[in-house]
Structures are given as C-alpha cells and as structure tokens.
Amino acid sequence: MTATTDGSAGALGPRTIVTTGTHHTTAPAPTPAPDVRTDAETAMRRSVDHLLGRQDGEGWWKGDLETNVTMDAEDLLLREFLGIRDEAVTEAAARFVRGEQRDDGTWATFHGGPGELSATVEAYVALRLAGDPPDAPHMARAAAWVRQRGGIAAARVFTRVWLALFGWWRWEDLPELPPELIFLPSWFPLNIYDFGQWARQTIVPLTIVSAKRPVRPAPFTLDELHTDPRCPNPPRPLAPAATWDGLFQRLDRALHRYRRVAPRPLRRAAMNAAARWIVERQENDGCWGGIQPPAVYSLIALHLLGYDLGHPVMRAGLESLDRFAVRREDGARMVEACQSPVWDTCLAVIALADAGLPADHPALVRAADWMLAEQVVRRGDWAVRRPHLPPGGWAFEFHNDTYPDIDDTAEVILALRRVRHPDPDRVDAAVARGARWTLGMQCRDGAWGAFDADNTSPFPNRLPFCDFGEVIDPPSADVTAHVVEMLAHEGLAHDPRTRRGIAWLLAEQEPRGSWFGRWGVNHVYGTGSVVPALTAAGLPPAHPAIRRAVAWLESVQNEDGGWGEDLRSYREEEWVGRGASTASQTAWALLALLAAGERNSAAVGRGVAWLARTQREDGSWDEPYFTGTGFPWDFSINYHLYRQVFPLTALGRYVRGEPSFGKGR
C-alpha cells in the first residue's frame, strides 16, 4: 500500500494527507499553463466524446457502483443458506474479495481507509466458504487482527445475524426484533415508518428472521475469530437506567422475555402481515427498493415462511440479485449494492448540455425520453406521511416505484429543462408533476430529506439493533440545495416554500463556511451543492454566506490545484476538507466557486488546470477514492461515473459560463 499526500495553500500552509502509509510532503505542483482556457476546451471536448460513447442505446448511462466486500460476502452466505451456492460464482466472488484485502490482513470499507472489523469478519467467512484454509498466511493475518479488535463479539449486529444463521453466533445474544412491529400504527413511536426507507425494507423481513431464528448446519467452525472460544460473548454491563441507552437496553430485555410468552396466533398473524408487506413491495424486476440488502433479507424471510425457490417471488428475487453482479476483466465478480441509472443519466445530461452539446442533440433527446418513461406515477411508502399528495417523482434505480427520491427528482427536472424535446408539452407535464410532488415532500422545518417527509424520530437510532449506519432520513443540505436550485429555475425562487428552504440552508452553514454533505463526501460536496443553489435563487455573490464559502474552499485547496476530502472527515475534524485531490471533488469545488463569480480567480484557474492535466487520453479521469456516501462513515460509495460527469459540468461552466435554461420549454 502507498501513502497519498497533498497540500493546501493558505493560512495552514503545506500539509500532508496520509491514507495508508508513511508521511511525506508533496512537491509543489507545476505552474498552470498560461492559457488555461485552451486546455479546458480541449479537455471538455474529449470528455464530451467519452461520455457520449458510454450511453446505452436506450438512452441511459450507468457507471459501476462500488462499495465494499460485505456485499459479496453476504451474497455467498445467502446462497449457502438457500443451498444454491455453486463453485463458479464462489470462485469469482472469492477472487474479488482476495483482491481487496490489505497488507495487514484486513478489509476496509473505502479506498485507502483503515481496516474495518465487520467487513474483515464477513470477508474472512466468505473466503472460508471458498475453501481458503484458516492457516493460510492471508487468513491467519485476518483472524489475528479480528481477535485483537475484540473478535466476533465486537462486530456489528448485522454481521452477527449472518453468523447466527449458521450457528456461529447465538440468536439469544442478538437484539430482539418482534414481527408485531408491523401492527404499530404510523403515529406510534417506533412504527416501521419511523425508519428511513432503506432501514424499513431491511427491518421488516428481519423481524421474521428474528422470530424464526433459523440455523443451517455450518460447514466449519469460526473459533479462530473469538478472543475466547469458551466464552465468545461475555456479558456486558447495562447502561444506567436514566440514560437513553439504558432505557432501550432494558426494552430489548423485555422483548426477549416477551418472545417466550408471545401468543402464537398473534405472532403468526404478524409474520404473515410482514410477508404481505414484503411481497407487495417487490419491484417489477424482482428486487426490493432497487437495493441489495433488503432483497437478501426478504428472500430469507419468505423462504422461512415456506416460499420455495421455484415460487415466482423467490425466482424473480434471485434473478434480480444476479443483475447486481459486475464481471471484471480478471474474472472477479463484484456485487453492487445498488444501481444508479436515473441519477447517472440526469447528471450526464446536465454535464453534456452545460458543455455545449446542442439541446436537441439525439443523445439528449434519447436520454430525456428514457427519463420521462421512468417517472413514478403510483403511490409508495412516502404517502403514509403525505396521503393527499399526487405522485410524480423519480427514483434512483431502473425499477423502484415504491421509493422515488427527492434528490433524483430535482436533478431530473434540471436535466429535462436543458433538452429541446420534440414534445415540449410532455416535458412540461412531467416537470409539473415532479415539482408538485417535491414541494409536497417539504419537511416542517422548510428543508427536504431524501425519501420521506419529516422522518426525524429520535428513537430508531437508539435501538440496540441499529448499531450501523443511519436509520432515519432527516433533511440534508445537499438534497435541499438541489431542490432549491430546481425550484429557482422553475421560476419559484420567490415562492414562500423556496424561501423557507433558503433560510434553512443559511442557518445550516458551518462556522468555517462550508456545508455538511450527507450523500457525498463531505463538506466539499455540501458546499458544491449549496452555493450554486443559493446564487440560482438570487443571492448575490457578495452575500456573506457566499463569501465565507469561497474563503473556506480557497483555504482547503491542495497544492496541486485540486480538491479532496477523505471519508474520515465524518468522524475526525482534522480531515474536513482534506484529502488527496480527486476529479469529482475538484469539480464540486469549482462549481461552487464559478457560481460565486470567481471564474477569473487563481483558485479556479489552478483547479481547472488540475482537471485538464489529470485527464486521460480517452477523455476520462481515474478516481479510486470513494466520494459518495450511503451512510456517513459507515457505508461509502465509489460512483464510477462521478469522475466523468462532474468534471465535465465544471469545465463546461468554466468555458461557457453558467447554464441557461428554458431550452426545453
């Protein structure tokens, strides 16, 4: 492994960013060429050609969505549990898992990140399933590291659930999830709609798994992953009863006692109701919500209730999971947690249009037609909180009519307005539906979350079961900014609802001048989203909030001219705005600075020069770093198309100025 270093100009002076190795300081970057604009135009043209060459014949774009090896490990564990694991899939998955192991024997959850306990445990088990012996050097290193970090007992709950399926962990030592949750009304604390959509879809099937507590005979033991195999899970003291943790720990103990006395007819009815809930939400392609984790748990839950593998629901679900697999040139098989065609397509359209592709170019029209056909026109779970709101949003994936999201909807509308479509009335009608739905999903505080309105209950995160990632969907600056930008371009900048969103954004600015990035890494993403929205809504570049943002971005620019931010910024203050330069994060910073009127600044010139200098011959950029966020810190994403669409958008706005709208009307 190598160390990656960079520096920043400004008050802090040169600095070192270390991702995996020893400290050293990067030499000063070369001075940008005198005519940065010429280099930018050349890079822009190359990037346009590259992106056009990646469009599917149906009109969409999709880059790989890379996460971490737990997706691959859990896919193998699912197949082992259902009895359908085969050697070809196992070897291809093991090839990928082995290739991701670090020199110290561990697995990380993002490029250059530290070893992570649960990921290492799951990867180790996957390789044991593939036949790697525990005394092999790479396995022994992993097992020793796991023991040093507390063994399996210190892993997250979801990891231990997978191990319990095979008898490697006791169900009694896991938090209880009663299926009777399905009967709680939507106004009752801890009902299933208090959870974010991703958590909701996972928890409902897991209530069935928790009630059934299945165990399939394990093909081997995992004693080498325990600090003491004779006592793998020593008792832990309870937190004080007067604390939230103590209260919910005692609630979990009460639920364990309830399990022993739960009326069988009630429990049976609850599991059947949960099964109906699951089946009703299966998408047309067989998946659930377009994401992998709920799919694997739903398949296990339904199988436990008697759905055989030939049942249409099970067959379609298993086939959908196969479509999440990406085959690499070396024969490795990587499992995507999700697929992002709607998101990738709208961002690609924005990038190409802002780079000067004619508004009626066939590629843009094809993309618009595909996006128009993807609009969600039926009600989903969001309607529980907004029962009278007509549908009209867009989802992230190929098939996900249950969970359209606000972020995609805003960006799709911004993309459609850049296209001169032969049927403008069709575009206008779709945009009107999307904007109406988006406005209806505004939260009480004036901002927007990703999937639901007012999904802000403080209780779900307190449950002992929820020890991994976010389980609620509160408003975020990046989503709110995209909505405000869309509403401004729809002529609604002075609408009271838009002004409430602007006021929320201004109040959320960090003292340093940045904004927190919920769905992208991190403050660079948040700031790159908010500044263009505020200026689109009419705030002048001289506004104090804009000036503070500009000053912050300039202070964290790397010596090489780019910008980067490590995922550790979600946990460690010293990493905020700091990291190896990446194409996507450099583009986000440039989008903010350009929107703030800084086109002729030295910072912008150096950033544009960095993009032009690091572009490959084929018009693409390389970016191994993870700049997307599923859950802050806990689940990170490398969107492989981010490195193409955002730099092109920034170069286009640098060369051609801010985008003009109205072309699609």
Q: 288-305 pLDDT, tens per residue?
A: 999 998 999 999 999 999
CA distance linking residue 368 with residue 514, whole number of Å: 33
E strand map for 2-72: 65-66
Cross-strand pairs, 631: 635
Averaged over 38-58, what is the pLDDT? 97
Give me the CATH topology for the region 66-222+236-335.
Answer: Glycosyltransferase (1.50.10)
CA distance linking residue 15 with residue 18, whole number of Å: 10
Q: What is the mean pLDDT of the chain?
A: 92
pLDDT band at 229; cut points 50, 70, 90 = confident
**The two structure tokens encoding residue 547:** 């000036």
Is domain 36-63+340-456+466-656 given the CATH code 3.20.20.370 in the classification? Answer: no
| Helix, strand or coil, per DSSP, at residue 224 | helix
**Which residues, 6 or more positions from 192, have their beta carbon under 8 angstroms from its beta carbon?**
181, 182, 184, 200, 203, 204
pLDDT at 87 over 60: yes
pLDDT band at 661; cut points 50, 70, 90 = low
Per-residue b or e along 451-481, where b marks 16 or more CB atoms closer than 10 Å to that residue's CB: bbbbbebebbbbbbbbbbbbbbbbbbbbbbb
CB of 545 closer than 8 Å to CB of 531: no
**Which residues, 6 or more positions from 235, have their beta carbon under 8 angstroms from its beta carbon?**
none
- Tens digits of per-residue pLDDT, 184-202? 999 999 999 999 999 999 9
Enumerate the active-site residues: 407
CB of 43 closer than 8 Å to CB of 651: yes
Query: Residue 583: how many CA atoms within 13 Å on its side-chain side?
Result: 27
| Helix, strand or coil, per DSSP, at residue 469 | coil
Three-class DSSP labels, 595-634: HCCCCCCHHHHHHHHHHHHHCCCCCCCCCCCCCEEEECCC
Residue 8: the pLDDT is 34
Which range has the worst mean pLDDT, 25-34, 279-288, 343-352, 421-430?
25-34
Cross-strand pairs, 405: 394
pLDDT at 4 over 70: no
CA 285 to chain centre: 21
Residue 468: the pLDDT is 81
CA 404 to chain centre: 15
CA distance linking residue 343 with residue 407, whole number of Å: 9
Averaged over 440-448, what is the pLDDT? 98
Averaged over 488-509, what is the pLDDT? 98
pLDDT at 344 over 90: yes
Residue 25: the pLDDT is 35
Averaged over 384-396, what is the pLDDT? 97
- The four Cα atoms 502, 506, 508, 509 give a dihedral, to 10 degrees, of 140
CB of 526 closer than 8 Å to CB of 553: no
Averaged over 496-507, what is the pLDDT? 98
Its pTM stands at 0.92
Three-class DSSP labels, 335-397: ECCECCHHHHHHHHHHHHHHCCCCCCCHHHHHHHHHHHHCCCCCCCHHHHCCCCCCCCCECCC
Domain edges within the chain: 36-63+340-456+466-656, 66-222+236-335
Burial class (CB in 10 A: 0-12, 13-18, 19+), 306: exposed
- Tens digits of per-residue pLDDT, 138-174? 999 999 999 999 999 999 999 999 999 999 999 999 9
pLDDT band at 246; cut points 50, 70, 90 = confident
| Helix, strand or coil, per DSSP, at residue 657 | coil
662: left (phi over 0), alpha (psi -120 to 50) or beta: left
Averaged over 208-217, what is the pLDDT? 96
Residue 241: the pLDDT is 85
- Tens digits of per-residue pLDDT, 120-132? 999 999 999 999 9
Better-predicted residue by pLDDT, 570 or 22: 570
Q: How far is CA 503 from CA 471, 534, 537, in A?
A: 26, 10, 11
Residue 341: the pLDDT is 97
**The two structure tokens encoding residue 354:** 């802002």
CB of 298 closer than 8 Å to CB of 280: no
Cross-strand pairs, 638: 66
Greatest extent of the chain over all pairs of C-alpha atoms, in Å: 79
Task: Report the relative pairing of strands 65-66 and 628-631 from DSSP bridges.
Answer: unpaired
Q: Residues 122, 124, 125, 131: is their CA dihedral positive or negative?
A: positive
Averaged over 445-459, what is the pLDDT? 96
Residue 244: the pLDDT is 86
Residue 236: the pLDDT is 79
Q: What is the DSSP letter of 638?
A: E
Which range has the worst mean pLDDT, 91-100, 114-123, 652-661?
652-661
- Residues 282, 285, 288, CA angle at the centre, nearest 5°? 35
CB of 460 closer than 8 Å to CB of 470: no
590 closest CA partner among 574, 604, 602, 577:
604
CA distance linking residue 336 with residue 322, whole number of Å: 10
Averaged over 360-386, what is the pLDDT? 97
pLDDT at 630 over 80: yes
CA distance linking residue 554 with residue 524, whole number of Å: 11
Q: Residues 514, 520, 525, 528: is their CA dihedral positive or negative?
A: negative
Residue 660: the pLDDT is 60
Share of the chain above pLDDT 70, in %: 94
CA distance linking residue 546 with residue 551, whole number of Å: 9
Q: Which helix (H) or strand (E) holds 637?
A: strand 635-639
- Tens digits of per-residue pLDDT, 18-40? 333 333 333 344 444 458 999 99
Residue 157: the pLDDT is 95
Task: Report the relative pairing of strands 333-335 and 325-327 from DSSP bridges.
Answer: antiparallel
Residue 34: the pLDDT is 57
Which amino acid, 179? P
- Residues 296, 113, 131, CA angle at the centre, nearest 5°? 50
E strand map for 225-352: 325-327, 333-335
CA distance linking residue 209 with residue 642, whole number of Å: 37
Q: What is the DSSP letter of 238?
A: P
DSSP letters, 21-41, are S----PPPPPPPPS-HHHHHH
CA distance linking residue 272 with residue 280, whole number of Å: 12
CA distance linking residue 124 with residue 273, whole number of Å: 36
**The two structure tokens encoding residue 58:** 């149906």
Which amino acid, 121? V
Helix, strand, coil shares of the chain as percentages rounded to 5?
Answer: 50, 5, 45
CA distance linking residue 515 with residue 595, whole number of Å: 15
pLDDT at 659 over 80: no
